[in-house]
Amino acid sequence: MRNAFIDELVQLARKHTHIALVVGDLGFSVIEPFADEFPDRFVNAGVAEQNMTGFAAGMASEGYHVFTYSIANFPTFRCAEQIRNDVDYHKLPVTVVAVGGGLAYGPLGYSHHAVQDYALMRTMPNMLIAAPGDPFEVRACIRYLIENPGPSYLRLGKAGEAVVHPNIPEVAPGRWLTIAGERGSPRALLSTGAALGYALNFYERRANCDCAVFSLPLWGMRSKSIQPTMAYAFDEIVTLEDHLVDGGFGSWLTESLVTTERSPRVRPIALAAEVCGTVGTQLTLNRLGGLDFINPASQV
């Protein structure tokens, strides 16, 4: 995903001279293509995320679309108030890019885990969350964000995620992308972000699961209202996310459907509500947290 991100951003920056990339002293061996080609629109803010986000908002107020880039927890929680007050409340085109969403940096310990970021971002009224499930969704999301400038949060995995789509899909806030399965299935497996791999794994391992798989890469407070339409045809929706259930994607969908007359049952599969006190690979920590790649059937 990281490579798709920088490649797409470079391509778009050739056409759009208002795109700027600001990094928080991170991105070694990732961001160089942008920095080398557009040195005048690249800034390393140093280890200072509050200032990074504040000055990104200032640049955005002067016509730039600024992407702030760092490891998941740094450009989010460290500068949450700058994101809320300066970016979101002023409706400025700043895209906070978090690389290593979920437990992608598992071995680095809980300071580097991002399992509450959806909860933070989705309470900001103007914020659009972009959580792509594969590299093609990354490209689709970035294109959407550039064409529809505003406050946004782009949550990337790390590297090596499987390619799911055959090409770049059409994306829009709140719209589910069909990944696998038959129309008319009573059950939906709906994932956001890198949890798409888990949804597909379950689908492929469970023949006759009577379900269809969907990915939702763009969502937020503003796209809650169309969820009843998206969910209408299903009896049950199983959501998958590498985030805590509290304040997460499944909670968002549940809230979106709570006022509908005929509301399908929502069963969120998310990480356990515990502080992850151990280290390990993403796979290991997800499994410890209850997001089982090997046998999701036991949970569903």
Q: Measured from the CB atom, is 94 or 253 closer to other proteins? A: 94
Gyration radius from the chain CA atoms = 18
Asked if residue 253 binds other proteins (CB under 8 A), the reply is no
Provide the minimum distance between the beta carbon of 88 and other proteins in the complex, in angstroms, as a whole number: 11
Alpha-carbon gap, residue 190 to 237, rounded angstroms = 7
Asked if residue 86 binds other proteins (CB under 8 A), the reply is yes
x/- mask, other proteins, residues 8-47, rule CB under 8 A, reads --------------------------------xx-x-xx-
Alpha-carbon gap, residue 60 to 150, rounded angstroms = 10
Alpha-carbon gap, residue 49 to 194, rounded angstroms = 25
List binders of other proteins among 95-114 (CB under 8 A). Answer: none
Asked if residue 59 binds other proteins (CB under 8 A), the reply is yes
Q: Where are the beta strands (DSSP E) in 126-195?
A: 128-130, 152-156, 177-180, 187-191
Which region, judged by CB under 8 A, interacts with other proteins, from 81-89, 179-187, 194-202, 269-277?
Answer: 81-89
Q: Measured from the CB atom, is 53 or 254 closer to other proteins? A: 53
Per the CB < 8 A criterion, the answer to whether 98 and 68 are in contact is no
Which region, judged by CB under 8 A, interacts with other proteins, from 78-86, 123-131, 278-286, 289-297?
Answer: 78-86
Q: Which residues contact 30 (CB under 8 A, 6 or more apart)?
A: 2, 3, 5, 6, 99
Q: Which of 57, 124, 189, 271 binds other proteins (CB under 8 A)?
A: 57
Q: Which residues contact 202 (CB under 8 A, 6 or more apart)?
A: 189, 209, 296, 297, 300
| Residues making contact with other proteins (CB under 8 A) | 40-41, 43, 45-46, 48, 50-51, 53-64, 81-82, 85-86, 89-90
